[in-house]
Chains A and B, each alone.
Chain A
């Protein structure tokens, strides 16, 4: 039984025969260590952006998901300004497979899962936005073509609230 399940994705891939399913992407983002008197973990949104800068799919939304009361964690979601305007404001959070708690300083791999399975071929960017309480806000974009023609890693470097954002593509 276990063996047949393991085989299943392979079978589907073969059946449909397209790149879209076989191609894969890994996204890593870095939350930099900052020397500030009072550090709060940033809110972070990551999404796949179309050429017209609209959101194709959300990859991650990290905020104080469990903070309730008079000032719940959702109170500051609009500080992720671009994400909020491009579509965050139309969503009901939490989003399954996207929302999560804020993350500590360091490199984090985003879980892509099957989020790109239906992504039409075209030019896109991985966009990552971070906003920090008592701090600043920054958006970093890494452009890519989908589906990828060859294995490649593209990177962009944040200056303030984000470190390196890297996108690894596998045809």
Chain B
């Protein structure tokens, strides 16, 4: 019996780890536009970016920030089986940021030798997880998922100063095949050294290798990417540190994901 349960726990753990493989993505219909109009955006989570074959991404945390800093409400928000979708009416000139910010606490502990798992908000953590739980292991997480769409000329994007984020040196709506682009990564507003960045060009179904690019940020938190091919790119970055806000937590897991469109020359 004990053995069965242990096995079950192992299976559950494996399932959890496998679930991490399903990366979230936003897929805008256009990113560079001359005049005010609608764009439509898909949001999903799957093994390979932009391929809606796993599940829709919950987008209740979605925020759309207009060039003047005001918030725009999405239109026709729908959660499908395999992807969520929404439309955005772009009325101003400049760059719109569409972002999904999520943060939470994960806890693992044991009751009578049996593993327990919990995930939720920092507030709920204090109420729902016993502080004196046996073998209590707590970690915090904060993630930012975003993409950008520009009407007219690109406008400046301000960092939030919180968590892991990308700061354009090259504007994310000014990316062209054959050119270099430089991005800076910040953690809580400061340059983040040694962050591993993964870049995957979409349309993976039509080639046999993933052809992912891996880059690591330098001392100044910067990476330079040479775009060998035009396409919609998924950029993912992860970082662990110990700057926690929940006392019981030992570790903070930060992640940043962006969708960047690279146009041909």
Query: A residues near B, CB below 8 A?
Result: 38, 40, 71, 133-138, 160
Contacts and interface: CB of A to CB of B under 8 A. Distances in A.
B114 interface: no
Contact of A134 (B17, B21, B208): B21
**Interface class of chain A by DSSP:** loop
Contacts of A136: 208-210
Q: Which 9 A-B pairs have the closest CB atoms?
A: A136-B209, A137-B208, A136-B208, A134-B47, A38-B21, A134-B21, A133-B47, A136-B210, A160-B209
A40 B22 CA distance: 13
Contact of A135 (B17, B20, B54, B210): B210
A40 B21 contact: yes
**Interface class of chain B by DSSP:** loop
Given A40-B18, A136-B210, 18 more contacts: A38-B17, A38-B20, A38-B21, A40-B21, A71-B54, A133-B21, A134-B21, A134-B47, A134-B48, A134-B210, A135-B210, A136-B208, A136-B209, A137-B208, A137-B209, A138-B208, A160-B208, A160-B209
Interface residues of B, number: 10
A38 B210 CA distance: 13
Interface of B: 17-18, 20-21, 47-48, 54, 208-210
11 contacts: A38-B21, A40-B21, A71-B54, A134-B21, A134-B48, A134-B210, A135-B210, A136-B208, A136-B209, A137-B209, A138-B208
A137 B208 CA distance: 5
Contacts of B21: 38, 40, 133-134
A131 to B, nearest CB: 9
Contacts of A135: 210
A137 B18 CA distance: 19
The winner among B17, B18, B54, B210 for most chain A CB atoms within 10 A is B210
A145 B47 CA distance: 40
Contacts of B18: 40
B15 to A, nearest CB: 10
Nearest to B20: A38
Nearest to B17: A38
A136 B54 CA distance: 18
Contacts of B209: 136-137, 160
A136 B212 CA distance: 11
Nearest to A81: B208
Nearest to B211: A136
B197 to A, nearest CB: 13
B254 to A, nearest CB: 16
Contacts of A138: 208
A38 B22 CA distance: 11
Nearest to A139: B208
Contacts of B210: 134-136
